[in-house]
Amino acid sequence: MTTKGRPVIRSGCFITVEGIDGAGKSSQVDALAAWLREQGHEVVLTREPGGTPLAESLRALFLERDMDALTEALLVFAARRDHLCRLIEPALARGATVLCDRFTDATFAYQGGGRGFDLDVLSMLEGWVQQGRQPDLTLWFDLPADEAARRRAAARPADRLERETLAFFDQVRQGYARRCAGAPGRFARIDADQPRERVWADVQNAVANCAAFTGAVNVSGAAALSPVPPRA
Ligand code: TMP
């Protein structure tokens, strides 16, 4: 396709979803994917660490094995590189919407905030791995660490990260807050400590107000189709 002889480079929208474990993002992300598909968007729903066979193998190691913070950071960035090269960039290039459950903000929050790992090293790895790629919109589901712990305890057996202390998750939350303050145009903070319907309405509004999406989603029509995300 060309406009006045110039090629039009189609690029899809890259949306990431973040928050401490137990914040309720996963059921909302499934609902968001369904909502966007109902409106005719091609949606690639993926996650980190993971999203490709290699990155899923690294995810299993990451979630099960004990390791230091640098090893954690290197593993998630190695998985991210493969994910970007094989799945995310090709999908964006053909105009798809990529909806990713966690991305690099999680590394700054968990390894940087939670583990206290050097943020400059993380920034360097971010630059190498992403070559400037950043999400168009990041939905940050913000919830106090004690409420998130209550929800996790009721939901599922804990993995290696989920067994961390309340203080750890409080530091992770502060890590997200710092990333949000550093990129306010990209982040939409969603108050996850409210009824599910209200959270869902905030998600829809954040997507509808995203510059990369303006005019491409219909909040009122879609709300009639799927008012509340399915229970996790
Ligand atoms: P989840 O996908 O079920 O939320 O689990 C992924 C876990 O990995 C979660 O506890 C957050 C953690 N994580 C990091 O510590 N650093 C990262 O860069 C990413 C993407 C996830």
pLDDT at position 114 is 98
Give the pLDDT of the chain (232 residues) as one tens digit per residue.
Answer: 444 544 444 579 999 999 999 999 988 999 999 999 998 999 999 999 999 999 999 999 999 999 999 999 999 999 999 999 999 999 999 999 999 999 999 999 999 999 999 999 999 999 999 999 999 999 999 999 999 999 999 988 888 998 999 999 999 999 999 999 999 999 999 999 999 999 999 999 999 998 777 767 777 644 443 444 444 4
Pairing of strands 137-142, 14-18: parallel
Using the mean position of ligand 1's atoms as its centre, give its distance from the Cα of residue 76 in Å.
9
Strand partners, 99: 15, 45
Tell me which residue has its CA closest to atom 3 in ligand 1.
Answer: 21
Q: What is the DSSP string of 83-106?
A: HIIIIIHHHHHTTPEEEEES-HHH
What residues does ligand 1 touch, defined as CB less than 6 Å away?
21, 47-49, 76, 101-102, 106-107, 110-111, 161
Tell me which residue has its CA closest to atom 13 in ligand 1.
Answer: 106
pTM, 2 dp = 0.91
pLDDT at position 230 is 45
User: Which ligand 1 atom sits nearest the alpha carbon of residue 101?
Assistant: 2
Calpha distance 208→117 (Å, rounded): 35
Is the distance from CB of 107 to CB of 146 less than 8 angstroms? no
Using the mean position of ligand 1's atoms as its centre, give its distance from the Cα of residue 217 in Å.
29
Q: Which two tokens mark 35? A: 């909502």
Helix (H, G, I), strand (E, B) or coil at 195: coil
Tell me which residue has its CA closest to atom 10 in ligand 1.
Answer: 161
Euclidean distance between the first and the last CA atom of the chain, given in angstroms as a whole number:
42
Calpha distance 150→146 (Å, rounded): 6
User: Which ligand 1 atom sits nearest the alpha carbon of residue 110?
Assistant: 15
Using the mean position of ligand 1's atoms as its centre, give its distance from the Cα of residue 130 in Å.
18
Pocket test for ligand 1, best of 17, 72, 102 (most atoms within 8 A of CB): 102
Q: Under 8 Å CB-to-CB from 127, ≥6 apart: which residues?
A: none
What stretches of 83-203 adopt beta strand conformation (E)? 97-101, 137-142, 187-191
Using the mean position of ligand 1's atoms as its centre, give its distance from the Cα of residue 128 in Å.
20
pLDDT at position 71 is 98
pLDDT at position 55 is 98
Is the distance from CB of 217 to CB of 36 less than 8 angstroms? yes
pLDDT per residue as tens digits for the range 39-93: 899 999 999 999 999 999 999 999 999 999 999 999 999 999 999 999 999 999 9
Neighbours of 46 (CB within 10 A): 21
Pocket test for ligand 1, best of 63, 110, 126, 151 (most atoms within 8 A of CB): 110
Q: Under 8 Å CB-to-CB from 96, ≥6 apart: which residues?
A: 12, 41, 42, 43, 44
